[in-house]
Structure 1
Amino acid sequence: MEGLANEQILDVIGVGIGPFNLGLAALLHKTECRSLFFDKNIRFDWHPGMLLEGTTLQVPFMADVVTMVDPTSPLSFLNYLHEQGRLYHFYFFEKFQIPRTEYNHYCQWVAEQLPQLQFGCKVENIEQTEAGHYRVTVFDYKEEERKTYDAKHVVVGVGTKPYVPEKFHSALGDRVFHSSQYKNKREDALKANSITVIGSGQSAGEIFYDLLSKQPDHDYKLRWFTRSKGFYPMEYSKLGLEHFSPDYTRYFYHLPKERKKKVLNNQALLYKGISASTIADIYDLLYERTVGNQVSNIHLQALTELVSIEDWNNTYHLSLYQHEQEQNKQLESDVIILATGYQPFIPDCVKGMKHRIQWDEDGQFVIQEDYKVKLNTDGQNHLFVQNGELHTHGVGAPDLGLGAFRNAAIVNQLVGKEVYQIYERNVFQQFGM
C-alpha cells in the first residue's frame, strides 16, 4: 500500500539517524521547523559491534549533539547526567573522554525526547516534484506500508559504511569479518585456536587489547598485522587538534581540488592512528605477561600487507607481504578480523535525484561550503549532506566535535536567520596567508 502520508509540506526530512542527524533534530527542536527523520534501524545504536567495556570516545564529552553551539540546551550531556542522577559520579570521574557505552546511552536518551524521529523506516527514494519540493518514499517496517512525504529540504546523514577490500569479500563469514561486527561474534571467536587482526587504527588496537586480555582463559595464538609503517599513535597534541575546527574546515574548503587530495593523504595520523593510551595499555599488558621471560603466544608486525585469504579445509591460509624486505609469508588462522576502516558512500535512495545532482570526477557529490549538494538547477529547496564531505571539507567531516557546528550552519539556512551563533575565530593558529 502506498499513499501520501501527510498533505502538509514539511520543512525538512532527515535521512538516517546517526549522531549528526540526531544533533540536527535536537537543534531544530526549539525552532518551528516541521521535520521528520527516518532510519531503517529499530532504535539508535552507535557502532554496537564496538561498544566494548573500557573503550572511550576519542573526543571530549562536550562533543555531544548540542553543546558546542547551544551549551544551555536541555539535551546536553551534562543535563543527561543530571537527569540520570550521575552528576556527582561524573564530577569524581574527572575525565573528559567518556565511556563509549555512555555516549550511546546518552544519544538514545536524546532520541527518546524527539518525537519527529521515526525508526524502523527505510528511505527508498528521493526525487524532486515539478514544484521543486522533495518527495521522499519511505517503507515503514512496523506497519508494512510504503508512504511518501513532501519536504522543502532534505538532509542526508547516513554516515559511512564498513570497508573491506573487494579481494576479501568471498572469504567473509562467521570467522572472517569486519571489526564492526566484533562484539557480536566475539564469543565464537574466542573458541578458536588462532586469531589474526588486520589493521592499524583505533578499532584494531581495541580489538587486539580485548583479545589479549582474554587470551589466558582461552589459549589461542594471537597475531596483529598492519601495512602501516608502525603501530603509531594518533596525533593528539593541542595545536594538532585545532585541525578539527571550523577555521580549518574553512581553510581546507578553499584549497584547490588537486591539493586537497594530497593534503588528506598526508593527514592520516590526525584521524587514523591509535590512541596513545590504547598503545600504552597493550604494551603494559605485554610486559606483564612476559615477567620471568615467559613466552607469549603473540605476534605483532607492521609494514606487512594481507594479500589474500584462502579457505583450505575449514582453515584459512593467509598470504602476507612485507614491503621493506619485499618478502612473502604464509600462515594459517582460524579467525580473521578485518579492521579495515569505513568509507563514505552514496545511498541508493538518491537514485531518483541522480540526474539533478552535480558529481565530481570520482563519482562523489559536489558539495558547497554551506553543506548543500550542488544541483544542476537553482532553487530555494536544498539537499544537504552530513559526514559525506571529507573530500571537500577535510578531516573534520566525521568528527563528533564539529557536528553541532555543521548542524548550526544547516539550521540557520533552514530557518532563514541566525538561530545559533557561529564564531569566525575559534583557534589560536592561522592556517593560511
Structure 2
Amino acid sequence: MTERGSAAPLPDDVLDLVCVGFGPANIALAVAFDELWPTSRVLFLEREAGPCWQPGMLLSGSDIQNNPARDLVTPRNPRSRYSFVNYLHENGRLFKHLNVPAHHPLRKEFAKYVQWVAEEVPADVRYGQEVTSVGSVDGGDRRLVAVRTADGRVVHARGAVIAPGRTPNVPAAFAGLDPRKVFHTNHYLPGIADLDASYAGTIAVVGGSQSAIEVVLDLMDRFPAARVTNVMSGYGYRLKDTSPFSEEVYFPEFVTYYYGASPDGKQLLREQLRPTNYSSADRDVIDALYLRLYEDDLDGVDRIALRTNRVIEHVAELDGRVQMATVERVTGARELIPADRVVLATGFRDLGGGERAESLPPLLADLLPVLSVDPEAGLRVGLDYRVATDDPHAPPIFLNGLCESSHGLGDAGSFSLLALRAKAILQSARRALTAEAATGHGDLLPASTH
C-alpha cells in the first residue's frame, strides 16, 4: 500500500466534489465555484428533468416574501452577472419590473431567474439522476465519497455537498394514505392537475401558514364550485412578524450567535422568532382571504369553512373519501371532517429529535456508523456546514440548506443567506481538500485566480 504522505495522483474519474441536488442552494454554490474556484472538478446530480424551483407552488399572485437583492449571489458578490437585477436587464424586463406595484417579486418570476442562472452558469449538471445513497469507499490511502444513483451508477469524489431539499413533514395520522388523495404543498399543482374548473368536490387544507392561505385562495379561484375546508391547530391566521428587528435573524451575524447558543438558548430563540417564518402569513393574503369570506357571507355563499383550534386525532379512507376525526382544543367538541382531497401545508422536517424532526438526512443513512449524531440535536454539523464524523479519515461532507436547527432561521427555505452559505461551504471544502493535498493525500489544488 502507498504510504500516507506520498499518495499517487487520483484517477481522472475521481472528482473533487459531488453535489446532490441542483435547486437554489446548490445553484448558488455552482455560481460560487464559477467565480471563486473555476478549476475545481465538481459534478451536480439532480433528480428533476431540468432546472426548476418549487414547480408545485407557482401560484398566480404569490411572491417570494424577501428582498430580491437576497438572491443567489448578490450578498456575496454584488458585481456578479448572476444577480436578479442582471437577469432582468439581460431579459429586457428591468424597467417593467421596477414599475410593478408590488413589495416583492412574483414567485413565478423568481423561478424564471433561478432557471436562468442554472442554465447560464458553466456547471457540470446531470439531470434525471436520482441519488439513492451516499457512502464511502476505500480509495487506497484515502476514503472517497461514493454516491449511488437509481440507475446503478456510482460517482466517486473526494468530498460531497448534500442539498436535496428538506423532507416534507407528513403528520403520522396521514402516513400511508393514497398519495392521489393526500399530498404535501410541494406537490400541490400536480395533485390537482386532473381536476377541471367545474370540480365540485371538497378539498381540505391542513395548516395555518403562508402556504396554507395561498392554497385556499388559489382553490377558491380555480374551482368556484368546490368546497374548501381549512383545518388548523391555532385560533386563526396570525400575522407574520416582519419587524426589522426580528428580521435580523436573516443577518449572517445571527447565524454565528445562534450556532454558539446552548440547547436551551436555541429553544428560546426558536420560540421568540418562530412567527418570522412559521405558522403565520403576510397581511396581503390574510386580508384577501378575510375579504373573500366577508363577500361570500354577503352573497349568501357557503363554500369556505375554517375549522380552527382543531387537533386531528385520526385519519382514515372510507368510501373513497378521507375522513379526519378532530377535537376542538378549547371545548373538546369532536367532529368528523370529510374531504375528497387533502393538501398538507404542514411544513418540513428539521434535523434533531422530536415529532417534526429527523436525526439525519435519509441519504446519509449508509454513513451512520461514522457520523457524529446527538440523540437530542441530531447530526452534528460545524459552523462551516461540514458534517462531524467519528472517523478522522472520512471524506468532507457538507449540508447545504438543511441546518436550520443548528444555524437558525437563515438556513430555512429562505433565499436570504444562500450566497454567503455557498461561500462558507466552498472555502471549507477547499481548505479540507488542499490540506489533504499538502500532506500527500491527493493532487494539489491550483489557487484561484479570482
Instruction: State the TM-score, normalized to the length of structure 2.
Output: 0.84
Residue 43 of structure 1, CA deviation = 1.4
Which whole-Å CA distance do the structure 2 matches of 1:352 and 1:319 have between them? 38
C-alpha deviation, 1:84, in angstroms: 1.0
- SS of equivalent to 1:391: helix
Any conservation in 2 of the 1:390–1:396 contact (CA below 8 Å)? yes
Q: For structure 1, which segment, 6-15 or 268-277, has the greater mean C-alpha deviation from structure 2 after superposition?
A: 6-15
Aligned residues: 410
What's 1:150 paired with? 157
The aligned counterpart of 1:76 is: 83
Task: State the secondary structure of the residue aligned to 1:309.
Answer: strand
* Partners of 1:322 and 1:328 within 8 A in 2: yes
How many angstroms apart in 2 are the aligned matches of 1:249 and 1:128? 33
Match in the other structure for 1:359: 373
Q: 2:255 aligns with which of 235, 239, 249?
A: 249
* Matches of 2:172 and 2:424, distance apart in 1: 37
Q: Distance in 1 between matches of 2:417 and 2:388?
A: 22
Alpha-carbon distance, 1:6 to partner: 6.1
Cα deviation per residue 1:300-340 (whole Å; 9 max; x = unaligned)?
Answer: 13211222222222233321111111221123322222211
Does the CA contact (< 8 Å) of 1:304 and 1:321 recur in 2?
A: yes
- TM-fit CA distance, 1:94: 5.2
Change (3 A) 1:385 1:187: closer
3-state SS, counterpart of residue 93 of structure 1:
coil
CA distance in 1, matches of 2:94, 2:192: 33
Instruction: Give 1:373's aligned residue.
Output: 387
Matching of residues 202-241 of structure 1 within 5 Å: 202-216=210-224, 219-241=225-247
Report the equivalent of 2:142. 132
- Contact 1:134–1:154 (8 Å) recurs in 2: no
**Does 1:194 pair with 2:206?**
no
How many angstroms does 1:28 deviate by? 0.7
Name the counterpart of 2:28: 23
Matching residue of 2:429: 414
Change beyond 3 A, Cα 1:108–1:312: same
2:126 corresponding residue in structure 1: 118
Q: Supply the AA of the counterpart residue of 2:290.
A: Y
- Seen in structure 2, the aligned counterparts of structure 1 residues 208 and 324 have a Cα distance that, compared at 3 Å, is same
Tell me the secondary structure at the aligned position of residue 410 of structure 2.
Answer: coil
Q: What is the CA-CA distance between 1:40 and the residue it aligns to?
A: 1.8
CA distance in 1, matches of 2:220, 2:277: 24
Query: 1:371 deviation in Å?
Result: 1.2
Q: CA RMSD in A?
A: 2.6
* TM-aligned CA deviation for residue 68 of structure 1: 0.9
CA displacement, residues 276-313 of structure 1 (integer Å, 9 cap, x when unaligned): 2111111222233333x524332113211222222222
Give, in whole Å, the separation in 1 of the partners of 2:17 and 2:92: 35
Q: Is the 8 A contact 2:51 2:118 kept in 1?
A: yes
Aligned amino acid, residue 51 of structure 2: F
SS at match of 2:427: helix
Which residue in the other structure is 1:313 paired with?
319
1:384 aligns with 2:398: yes
8 Å contact from structure 1 (residues 261, 391) kept in 2: no
Tell me: CA distance 1:415–1:254, structure 2 relative to 1, closer, same or farther (3 Å): same
Residue identity opposite 1:175 in structure 2: K
The alpha-carbon distance between structure 1 residues 337 and 192, as it changes in their structure 2 partners (threshold 3 A), is: farther
1:182-203 deviation per Cα after TM superposition (whole angstroms, max 9, x unaligned): 1112244562432221111111
Match of 2:437 in 1: none
The alpha-carbon distance between structure 1 residues 407 and 324, as it changes in their structure 2 partners (threshold 3 A), is same
Distance in 2 separating the partners of 1:177 and 1:254: 37
Partners of 2:294 and 2:397 in 1: how far apart?
53
* C-alpha distance in structure 2 between counterparts of 1:179 and 1:380, whole Å: 37
Q: 1:233-312 to 2 correspondence within 5 Å?
A: 233-272=239-278, 273-291=280-298, 294-312=300-318
In structure 2, the residue matched to 1:427 is none
Indicate if the aligned counterparts of 1:33 and 1:415 stay in contact, CA closer than 8 A.
no
Instruction: Report how far residue 415 of structure 1 moved.
Output: 3.6
Query: How far apart in 1 are the matches of 2:147 and 2:180?
Result: 34
Q: Which residue of 1 aligns with 2:115?
A: 108
TM-score (norm 1): 0.87
Aligned partners of 1:367, 1:137: CA distance in 2, in Å? Answer: 20
Q: Is the 8 A contact 2:246 2:273 kept in 1?
A: no
Aligned pair in 2 of structure 1 residues 321, 36: CA closer, same or farther (>3 Å)?
A: same
Q: Which runs of 5+ in 2 are unaligned?
A: 1-9, 351-357, 435-446
In structure 2, what is the Cα distance between the partners aligned to 1:319 and 1:35?
50
Letter of the structure 2 residue corresponding to residue 354 of structure 1: L
The equivalent residue for 1:425 is none
What's the counterpart of residue 408 of structure 2? Answer: 394
Partner of residue 13, structure 1: 18
1:404 aligns with 2:412: no
Offset, 1:166: 2.0
Are the equivalent residues in 1 in contact too, given 2:53–2:115 (CA < 8 A)? Answer: no
Q: 1:245–1:396: 8 Å Cα contact kept in structure 2?
A: yes
How many Å apart are 1:19 and its aligned residue?
Answer: 0.8
Unaligned runs of 5+ in 1: 422-433
Residue of structure 2 aligned with 1:59, choices 49, 61, 66 = 66
3-state SS in 2 of match to 1:411: helix
1:170-181 to structure 2, matched below 5 A, reads: 170-181=176-187
* Comparing 409-418 and 258-267, the one that deviates more: 409-418
3-state SS, counterpart of residue 374 of structure 1: coil
CA contact (8 A) 1:202 1:275 kept: yes
Contact 2:309–2:329 (CA under 8 A) maintained in structure 1: yes
- How much has 1:248 moved relative to structure 2? 1.2
Moved more, 186-195 or 410-419: 410-419
